[in-house]
Structure formats: structure tokens, C-alpha cells
Amino acid sequence: MRYDFGSDNTAGMAPAALQALIEANDGFARAYGSDEITARAADQIRRRLDADAEIRFVFSGTAANAIALSMLAWPHEAVLAHHAAHVCTDETGAPGFFGSGVGLIGLPGFSGKIDLVTLNAALEEPEVGHRQPPAALSLTQSTEYGTVYTEEELRHLIEPVKLKGCGVHMDGARLANAAAAGFDLTNIARLGVDVLVFGGAKAGANCTEAIVMFDKSLARRIDNRLKQAGQTASKARYLAAPFLGLLESGAWEDGAAHANLMAQRLADGILAGSSFILAHPVEANAVFVRMPPAAHQRLNDMGWACYRFDDGSVRFVCSWATTVEAVDELLDAISRV
């Protein structure tokens, strides 16, 4: 089975990330995140966001999202999110676990983007003692369906949430792909996002993400919270070093731009050389195709790993490591299917 397009998680570490990890292994360094490598990596993130923020590196996106949401909602409250968001569909209740009972309220919207009308309706629901009221909004950039929110779209969603006194979280597992698609990272803090998960793993790092707290009051006792959650790395330089390598070299952006370009090549080839149609706009590094189960099975039988997603479409994901040759081989297979 070939996993070239199974997920951007199936690719290895980008060379710049791996080299930085090797270099970080040389000699001794202070433990628990007080080392120079961690500080430099955090500074690189602040520079891209053009914001002063508290930053911590953790072992997974699930932990980063769940811990971030637990900062924004009490156990008797809930978080609003798109119903297909990773926090709703792929984290096994982790927000509720880390948040001691925090709930999730799934909202609809085309191609992974929350519908503004339904968001406003949820915010206007009367608060009663028998259900968890919303205390925060979770946004995903780029979305689970490979689309990218514009600054204006985000502003329209965030403003009513802020007027209600609620917090805002952004899941940026594929933030690099959104940036490569033209999204200005400096808008995140300016729009009022309180806490961001700055993606590393899907951008070419190992299994590591960064929690970015624009609202520094959220960082009160953050190290105690992370330690209790098993997310404090004694040798923290190994979490930060891949970020440092990607960011100092520019590979974080370059790899995402390449992934987006490969996704567009794949999408164009599918439209030109097959009878299949696309289920969602291709704006980042994912391509979703309307494909009958029999055709999907034939692709799998031919050795191509691709997965049926929540909406019934088949998902193909490109990464920093996707090659033109692999895209063209897949297109040939799809045309034969």
C-alpha cells in the first residue's frame, strides 16, 4: 500500500526539521523548556504572528487543542465548533477529558467553514440550567475540508463571539498551508483569537505542536497544567528543534506551498482526465473527490491509500514530500478506475 496521499501525517520529517533535531542532540542543554533552542523556536513563531505571546511545545495536536479549550471553558460550559472539526470527530472526547466535562456544540457550514447564521443562532439560545452554554468558539485554519477562511470571514465569526464575552481558539494543524494559500498570519492575534495551536507535525516536524497564548492570562500556571497532563517534556529541545529548523530555514512555508501546488495539480488532473468531480474547493493541500465505493475500493486494491471522509467523499492529502511523479502516477490510476 502506498501512503503518499493517505494523509500529510504519513510523510516523514522534512530535512530541515531532521537536521535541526540532530544538531539539538549535540552536548548538554537546560531541561523542561528553559533551553536556548526552545526560546529561539518560540521567537520564530512570535515573529511570524507579529505578536507577543506565551508559547509552549507539546507532544500532539489533540493535547494542544484539548488543553487550549480547557483554558476557555469551565466544565459546565461548551465550545462551538464546526461539526466536522477535528475536536468534534477525531479526538475521542479529549476536550471533555482535559476540560473535566467541557462540552462541544457542532455547527454546520459548507466545506468545513462555520455558517454565520447558525453561529449567531447558537449564541442567541437562552441559557438554562439543563444544558451547557457556549463559552468559546473553535475555528480550524485551514479547515478539515481543505478550505481557507479569509480575514473577513473570520472577523464576522469572531466579532459576535467576543461581544458575548466568549473566548476564541484556532486549530492551526495546517496553518502553514493556509499561510501558503495567502492567509496573513498576523491577522490571528488582531482578530481576537485568544489561543492558537501552531502546527508542526503536518508541516514536516515530528509529533509536536505549539500552544500560542495571545491572552497571557491564560498562561497562569500553564506549566502546572501541562505537567499534570503529561505534556511536559524533560528534554524539551527535542520538541522545539524541528520547529526551529523549519522556521529558520523557511521550510515551514516552502513545504506547505509545495503541498498546496501538488494538491492543485492533482485536482486539475482529476477534472481533466476522469469523470469524477470535486466535493470541495481546493484551496490548501487536500483534494476531496466524489467517488463511488467500488471505484474507491479499486484504487485501494491498486495500492493507493485514500480514505472516505465524513461527508462521503474520498480524501487525498499532499505534503511537503509529495512528488510530481507520485501525483501523475495517481492520476493515471484514477483514470483507469
Which pLDDT belongs to residue 274?
95
CA neighbor of 133 nearest in space, from 73, 71, 87: 73
User: How far, in Å, CA of 113 to CA of 229, rounded?
Assistant: 30
For 226, other C-beta atoms within 10 Å of its C-beta total: 21
Note the helical H segments in 164-207: 175-180, 187-191
Classify residue 2: in a domain, yes or no.
Answer: no
Last residue of a domain, which of 249, 279, 314? 249
Give backbone dihedrals phi and psi of 167, rounded to 5 degrees, phi first: -90, 170
Let me know whether 231 and 307 are in one domain: no
Let me know whether 241 and 180 are in one domain: yes
Let me know whether 162 and 227 are in one domain: yes
R_g (Cα) of the chain, nearest Å: 20
Residue type, 282: V
Which pLDDT belongs to residue 68?
97
Let me know whether 226 and 268 are in one domain: no
Q: What is the mean pLDDT of the chain?
A: 97
Classify residue 216: in a domain, yes or no.
Answer: yes
Let me know whether 230 and 85 are in one domain: yes
Residue type, 332: D
Last residue of a domain, which of 210, 225, 249? 249
* Beta pairing class for 209-213 and 54-58: antiparallel
Which pLDDT belongs to residue 333?
97
> Span 5-30, mean pLDDT?
97
* Beta pairing class for 78-82 and 54-58: unpaired
List residues bridging with 2 in a β-sheet.
Answer: 304
Which pLDDT belongs to residue 43?
98
CATH of the domain at 284: 3.90.1150.10
Q: How confident is the model at residue 157 (pLDDT cuts 50, 70, 90)?
A: very high
Let me know whether 194 and 264 are in one domain: no
Q: What is the pTM of this model?
A: 0.97
Which pLDDT belongs to residue 65?
98
Which pLDDT belongs to residue 206?
95
Q: C-alpha cell of 186?
A: 498576523
ω into 319 cis (within 30 of 0): no
Q: How confident is the model at residue 249 (pLDDT cuts 50, 70, 90)?
A: very high
**Domain range enclosing 329:** 251-336
User: How far, in Å, CA of 204 to CA of 193, rounded?
Assistant: 25
pLDDT digits (tens, 9 = 90+) for 295-323: 999 999 999 999 999 999 999 999 999 99
Let me know whether 76 and 185 are in one domain: yes
Percent of the chain residues topping a pLDDT of 70: 100
User: How far, in Å, CA of 331 to CA of 215, rounded?
Assistant: 46
Let me know whether 207 and 227 are in one domain: yes
Classify residue 217: in a domain, yes or no.
Answer: yes
Classify residue 75: in a domain, yes or no.
Answer: yes
Let me know whether 255 and 159 are in one domain: no
Let me know whether 228 and 127 are in one domain: yes
Q: Structural domain tally of the chain?
A: 2
Which pLDDT belongs to residue 7?
97
Which pLDDT belongs to residue 37?
98
CB 8 within 8 A of CB 174: yes
Residue type, 153: E
Let me know whether 70 and 138 are in one domain: yes
Last residue of a domain, which of 219, 249, 279? 249
Which pLDDT belongs to residue 260?
98
Q: How confident is the model at residue 201 (pLDDT cuts 50, 70, 90)?
A: very high
User: How far, in Å, CA of 161 to CA of 84, rounded?
Assistant: 20
User: How far, in Å, CA of 225 to CA of 7, rounded?
Assistant: 31
Let me know whether 152 and 255 are in one domain: no
The single residue listed with the C-alpha cell 507577543 is 52
